A = this chain, B = another copy of it.
């Protein structure tokens, strides 16, 4: 993957209010449920770039996840409003990497993470990234 050397730009793309369903008996968000919040960030990032996912899904293209990592700095709790920040870290011919930061209303860093993606068709076969999508994510990275 051709990784840009420059710093990843991470902008606020969404807000998310934590619900009971997200939390566990420690009364904090369950570690696996942050990936749903990352998904919201990813979808809103691409919508802001003018390349919302539904347009690709209609053409049978999916942004499959190859890998993810997440670091939990401070817990989010019930009814907290979390700021979801996301940005393109790197782009290649068929792959891209997205970086996330979740922050509290008081701007405390809650969670950082990333997801790596490939473009797959409906049958799970890798596809080249459509050129207009690649141009948009490269411009944003």
Interface-forming stretch among A24-32, A84-92, A93-101?
A24-32
Select from chain B the residue with minimum beta-carbon distance to A65. B31
For the complex, count residues of A whose C-beta is within 8 A of B: 41
Q: DSSP class of A's interface residues: helix, strand, loop or mixed?
A: mixed
Chain A residues within 8 Å of B, Cβ to Cβ: 17, 19-21, 23-28, 30-36, 38-40, 43, 52-54, 57, 62, 64-72, 75, 78-79, 115, 120, 124
Taking a contact as CB atoms closer than 8 A, the residue among B19, B23, B54, B70 that contacts A69 in the complex is: B70
The distance in angstroms between the C-alpha atoms of A79 and B26, with both chains bound, is: 14
Task: Give 27 pairs: A residue, B residue, CB < 8 Å, sorted on A.
Answer: A17-B40, A19-B36, A19-B43, A21-B24, A21-B32, A21-B33, A21-B39, A23-B25, A24-B25, A25-B57, A26-B62, A26-B64, A26-B120, A31-B35, A32-B34, A32-B35, A32-B36, A32-B38, A32-B39, A35-B35, A52-B79, A64-B72, A65-B72, A66-B71, A67-B69, A68-B70, A69-B70
Chain B neighbourhood of A120, CB < 8 A:
26
The distance in angstroms between the C-alpha atoms of A79 and B19, with both chains bound, is: 19
A26-B62, A30-B21, A43-B19 in contact; A57/B78 too (CB < 8 A)?
A: yes
